[in-house]
Amino acid sequence: MYQHPVAPLPAPRVLTQPMAMELLTADAAVRVDTTVGYDSRDPHALSIAFHLLGEDAVVWRVDREMVLTGSLRPTGDGDVLIRPAPDGTLLLRLGPAGGRAVVSCDQEALARLVRETFVLVPQGTEEHHIDWGPLLASLRR
């Protein structure tokens, strides 16, 4: 069976940025330390790791383009909704109905990180950074 030649993947590039966010409750805003990350091997997504006291980090994956759109107008569907707040922060609503958390973060700091991801992996080139081999191998079984 003929197989198309596969171009080598670019070297992985990783960005990480510690960032303070606030968990918004009905009564208070609680500071939560997070680490926002980007790995070019998963070129469409940011990871946001919430570091909670005494527990393993809770990690959410968020589309990088959604973050940029959400800084301009409400966007998202389902478990992730992002919108700008009147005070200049960015609000992320995470989770299903009945178990949602709303967190606030510095909109400019997050947008700056997202812009850096587009320097590493320009829009429209994401598929060149994905290793399709494992998926294709599983489909051949």
Among 93, 103, 110, 108, residue whose Cα is nearest residue 30 = 103
Asked if 113 contacts 36 with a C-beta cutoff of 8 angstroms, the reply is yes
Asked if 55 contacts 46 with a C-beta cutoff of 8 angstroms, the reply is no
Domain range 14-140, CATH architecture: Roll (2.30)
Can you give the pLDDT at residue 131? 79
For residue 114, give every residue at least 6 positions away whose Cβ sits within 8 Å of its Cβ, in sequence order, or none: 46, 64, 67, 68
CA distances from 71 to 11, 18, 88, 90, 91 (A): 30, 19, 9, 6, 9
Could you report the per-residue pLDDT of 105-117, keeping only the tens digit for each? 999 999 999 999 9
Q: What is the pLDDT along the chain (141 residues), one digit of tens a residue?
A: 555 556 778 888 999 999 999 999 989 999 999 999 999 999 999 999 999 887 799 999 999 999 999 999 999 989 999 999 999 999 999 999 888 999 999 999 999 999 999 999 999 989 888 877 776 778 887
The domain ranges of the chain are 14-140
Can you give the pLDDT at residue 15? 96
Q: Helix, strand or coil for residue 118?
A: helix
